Amino acid sequence: MSKILVTGGAGYIGSHTVVELQNEGFEVIIVDNLSNSKIEVLNGIEKITGVRPAFENIDCLDYMNLDRMFETRGNIDGIIHFAAYKAVGESVEKPLMYYRNNLVSLINLLQLMPIHKIKNIVFSSSCTVYGQPDQLPVTENAPIKPALSPYGNTKQICEEIIRDTAHAAPETYQAILLRYFNPIGAHPTALIGELPNGVPNNLLPFVAQTAIGIRPELKVFGNDYNTPDGSCIRDYINVVDLARAHVVALKRMMNNKMTENIETFNLGTGRGLSVLEIINDFERVNDVKVPYQIVGRREGDIEKVWADATLANEVLGWQAKETIDDTLGSAWAWEKHLAETEPKSV
Ligand code: NAD
Ligand code: WQD
């Protein structure tokens, strides 16, 4: 049985990926310092798959502890590196916290990989590296635009660090960079999902919290964009679809199918939806009201972006499958699950 280390595996995308890995017969070790997640997520994973993943409460900044973990666990076949801070606004206020956490965690792993004879790493990148693309849908060859936040910059720099490292030692490393568009939704069982941390910045958690009454109303940031209904357009991708892509990427590496030792893929649906479309669909699918008000634009927002996912379709054989209705249904089911199990977080 292949053994995979999942850093940040207790988090939103990580936990869904652990489930898909276990469903495909991988043995999983999670490394997470629980800075943005809770240990209870392991119960959810275990309920879904019947297997409790191994868990190590380690900070990826802690080189010595990571080293010890690799030594004790032995024979790890690949790493999926999710662990990072991800709040755009916070990164503007605390840039060094973001640069340290996101860059040093990656550097530690890359340094430890050859020592422990691990060749394969999958990295969580983001469509944020494209900024506002000149052409839509955006392909992997689109130019990387100057980052709009320190968070976005960490993703660009991490990509470069991996590229330089893999280039310098092609026999030692294989890397797949996955550029996620906007992950939303939760596992269909509603046993795992995205955990709220204060007031959500992202659209879907805010929509769901408004529908359930935690927030009085959603603010729609702008209706004067150059889009059909004036609100911004994004490529919202189901988190389970996204998780499955990681399993496919790992298998590609482990089966020596890569054509170069570093490959990059967009992970999106190829379909752009506006903020107002998301609100209307959420209301229709879940038969709830989402009170909202149009307000001014949010600084730094991209007008419209959606993926050309042809490369992932053709090379990885991966495609987003879940419908937007099912995805918005899963987000609502998860919100209701949270309402039953968590005290209200305001
Ligand atoms: P998340 O915050 O839910 O998960 C990240 C996990 O990493 C958390 O469990 C956190 O406790 C852990 N972590 C953070 N720093 C750590 C450290 N130094 N050592 C050990 N554990 C640490 O975030 P997510 O939404 O699941 O995102 C996962 C990855 O995907 C991140 O790298 C993020 O930047 C990237 N990404 C996310 C999105 C998105 O919209 N959610 C989009 C594109 C890319
Ligand atoms: C989506 C749309 C908002 C909240 C961010 C990061 C990006 C990434 C994903 C990681 C926008 C609108 C939102 C609200 C609103 N992650 N909105 N009212 O901005 O595409 O991307 O998260 O790499 O790096 O920048 O996602 O969910 O914040 O916003 O009108 O209360 O919803 O203006 O058009 P975004 P989002």
Query: pLDDT tens digits, residue range 66-115?
Result: 999 999 999 999 999 999 999 999 999 999 999 999 999 999 999 999 99
What's the CA dihedral at 240, 242, 246, 251 to 10 degrees?
A: 80
pLDDT, position 345: 52
Catalytic residues: 151
Q: How far is the CA of 330 from the centre of ligand 2 (A)?
A: 19
DSSP 318: -
Confidence of residue 154 (pLDDT cuts 50, 70, 90): very high
Mean pLDDT of the chain: 97
> What is the rounded CA–CA span in Å between residue 182 and residue 138?
14
Looking at residues 172-190, what average pLDDT do you find? Answer: 98
How does pLDDT run across 248-288, given as a tens digit for each residue? 999 999 999 999 999 999 999 999 999 999 999 999 999 99
> What is the rounded CA–CA span in Å between residue 240 and residue 122?
17
Confidence of residue 342 (pLDDT cuts 50, 70, 90): confident
CA distances from 74 to 3, 9, 105, 275 (A): 9, 19, 20, 47
CA distances from 306 to 1, 139, 188, 336 (A): 37, 9, 24, 29
pLDDT, position 174: 98
pLDDT, position 260: 96
How does pLDDT run across 50-65, given as a tens digit for each residue? 999 999 999 999 999 9
Q: Measuring from atom 32 of ligand 2, which residue has the nearest CA?
A: 203
pLDDT, position 83: 98
Q: How far is the CA of 236 from the centre of ligand 1 (A)?
A: 18
Q: Which residues of 34-54 are buried (b: 16+ CB within 10 A; e: fewer)?
A: eebbeeebbebbeebbeeebb
Ligand nearest the Cα of residue 59 is: 1
Which amino acid is located at 262 in the chain?
I
Looking at residues 11-33, what average pLDDT do you find? Answer: 98
Ligand 1 atom closest to residue 36's alpha carbon, by position in its atom list = 11
Residues with CB under 6 A from ligand 1: 7-8, 10-14, 31-37, 59-61, 82-84, 86, 101, 105, 124, 126, 180, 183
Confidence of residue 47 (pLDDT cuts 50, 70, 90): very high
Question: pLDDT > 90: what percent of the chain?
Answer: 97
Structure tokens at 74: 């032995």
pLDDT, position 343: 61
pLDDT, position 344: 56
> What is the rounded CA–CA span in Å between residue 303 and residue 174?
35
Residue 141 vs residue 196, higher pLDDT = 141
How does pLDDT run across 186-233, given as a tens digit for each residue? 999 999 999 988 899 999 999 999 999 999 999 999 999 999 999 999
Ligand nearest the Cα of residue 147 is: 2
Strands 273-274 and 233-234: antiparallel
Nearest residue to 27 (alpha-carbon basis) of 74, 63, 84, 71:
74
Confidence of residue 247 (pLDDT cuts 50, 70, 90): very high
Least confident of 15-19, 163-167, 248-252, 340-344: 340-344
Q: How far is the CA of 106 from the centre of ligand 1 (A)?
A: 12
Res 16 pLDDT > 90: yes
